[in-house]
Amino acid sequence: MNRKAGKHAGASGFTLLEIVFVAAICAVISISLLAAMPKWQNAYYDNTAFAVNNDRARDVFTRMCDEIRDSGVACPDWNLTSSSITFNQCSGAELTDTLWGPAVTYSYNAQAHTLTRTSEGDSQIVCGNVQSVTFAANGDKVEITLVVQTHSRQGRAITAQLSGLVFPRN
């Protein structure tokens, strides 16, 4: 007869030492994940703030460029300074005459950090947290730079800068 020696011979299972070791490993992993969670949340909020700031700046920049593109340097109210631009959009033509719409002005207020659009006496702030806006004539083109800045929850500056050349059509 072939019998195994010992009272628990052939028994299977985990020892107390193995269970404690696995519990310790699980605890270390859980603590590590919990410690990393605030960094992940901060990164998420920073990326969200960056995306919102960038989208807002791009929307304003695109609208402004589209309106300037529909104007022309020959329009009656054309005026360009480093911090503002005034123009008329073409609203049609009759034989040899170009018809111009009302004057539109984009102006930057450095004290309030805002970009304002004014037309027919109606002024609207189109963007806040504006650090700078510059308009410059570049031949028959207009060079525009827009810098919009916000801050993360930790106070870190999040900046969106857009620039480009606009070719007025008329």
CA distances to 45, 97, 125 from 87, in Å: 39, 17, 18
pLDDT tens per residue, range 86-113: 998 888 777 777 788 899 999 999 999 9
Give mean pLDDT, residues 139-155: 90
**78 or 10: which leads in pLDDT:** 78
Backbone angles phi, psi at 159, to 5 degrees: -120, 140
% of the chain at pLDDT higher than 70: 92
pLDDT at 2 (0 to 100)? 54
- Can you tell me the mean pLDDT for 25-50? 88
26 has pLDDT over 70 = yes
Asked whether residue 84 carries a pLDDT value surpassing 80, the answer given is yes
pLDDT tens track for 43-82: 888 888 889 999 999 999 999 999 998 887 677 788 889 9
Identify the top-confidence range among 8-17, 26-35, 56-65: 56-65
pLDDT category at 155 given cuts 50, 70, 90 is confident
Average pLDDT over residues 115-134: 94
Q: What's residue 161's pLDDT?
A: 94
Q: What pLDDT was estimated at residue 77?
A: 81
Summarize the confidence of residues 30-46 as an average pLDDT: 87
Write down the mean pLDDT value for the chain.
87
